[in-house]
C-alpha cells in the first residue's frame, strides 16, 4: 500500500514538474515570439509614422498651394479694380491701412466701400505680388501698386495677409503704404 502511494506521489510529482515545465516553456516561447515579432512591429510602426508624416506634408503642400492660388486671384482682382471678387475674402473684421489715412478694422460692407472708393481715386496702372509666403494657417503677400496722379506716377507697397478660417482663406489685413 505504501509502495502504491509512493508511486502515485511520484506520478503526481512528475505531472506537476511536466506542468511547470510546460508553463515555463510556453512563457519562454511567448517571450521569444514577442521579441521576434517586436522588431517587425517596430518597423511597421515606424513605416506607418513615416507614411502619416508624408501624408501630412502633402496635405500642407496642398494647403499652401491653395493659398498661393488665392493670392493670384486677389492680385488679378486688384489689377482689375474688381472689389466684388475680393468680398468673398473679407473677414468679419478686416484691418485696412491705406496711404490716404484710412486705418482700422472694418466690417465686410465697410471694406467694400472704402476699397472701392480708394481704387476709383487711385486707378491701378500695374500691380503684382513680388513675394508670396504661404503657411498652413496664415500666409501673406507683398507687392507694388503703381498708379498715375496729376503729378506723375506713384508707387505704393501693398501687404495682404490671409488666414485659414473654417477651410476658407480670409483677408485679415490689407495695407497700401508709401
- Is residue 72 in a domain? yes
- In terms of C-beta density within 10 A (0-12 exposed, 13-18 middle, 19 or more buried), how is residue 68 classed? middle
**What is the number of residues in the chain?**
178
- Is residue 63 in a domain? yes
Q: Rounded CA gap, 146 and 78, in Å?
A: 11
Read off the pLDDT of residues 13-45 as tens digits, 9 standing for 90 and up.
556 555 544 554 544 444 444 445 455 566 677
- pLDDT in the model for residue 116: 93
- pLDDT in the model for residue 2: 47
- Is residue 71 in a domain? yes
State which residues of the chain have pLDDT below 50. Answer: 1-4, 6, 20-21, 24, 26-35, 37
Q: Number of folded domains in the chain?
A: 1
Q: Which domain holds residue 67?
A: 59-177
- pLDDT in the model for residue 97: 96
- pLDDT in the model for residue 167: 86
DSSP state of 170: E
- pLDDT in the model for residue 5: 52
Q: Rounded CA gap, 129 and 144, in Å?
A: 7
**What are the cell numbers at 15?**
505531472
CATH classification of the domain holding 97: 3.10.450.50
Kindly list the distances between the CA atom of residue 108 and the CA atoms of 38, 49, 87, 111, 123, in Å, as whole numbers in the listed order: 58, 43, 7, 5, 22
Amino acid at each position: 500500500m505504501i509502495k502504491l502511494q509512493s508511486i502515485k506521489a511520484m506520478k503526481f510529482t512528475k505531472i506537476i514538474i511536466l506542468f511547470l515545465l510546460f508553463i515555463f516553456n510556453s512563457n519562454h516561447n511567448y517571450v521569444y515570439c514577442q521579441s521576434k515579432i517586436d522588431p517587425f512591429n517596430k518597423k511597421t510602426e515606424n513605416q506607418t509614422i513615416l507614411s502619416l508624416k508624408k501624408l501630412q506634408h502633402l496635405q500642407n503642400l496642398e494647403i499652401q498651394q491653395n493659398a498661393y492660388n488665392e493670392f493670384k486671384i486677389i492680385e488679378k482682382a486688384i489689377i482689375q479694380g474688381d472689389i466684388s471678387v475680393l468680398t468673398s475674402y473679407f473677414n468679419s473684421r478686416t484691418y485696412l491701412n491705406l496711404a490716404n489715412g484710412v486705418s482700422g478694422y472694418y466690417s465686410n460692407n465697410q471694406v467694400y466701400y472704402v476699397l472701392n472708393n480708394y481704387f476709383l481715386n487711385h486707378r491701378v496702372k500695374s500691380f503684382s505680388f513680388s513675394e508670396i509666403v504661404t503657411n498652413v494657417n496664415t500666409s501673406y503677400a507683398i507687392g507694388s501698386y503703381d498708379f498715375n496722379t496729376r503729378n506723375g506716377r506713384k508707387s505704393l507697397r501693398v501687404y495682404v495677409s490671409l488666414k485659414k478660417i473654417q477651410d476658407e482663406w480670409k483677408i485679415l489685413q490689407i495695407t497700401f503704404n508709401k
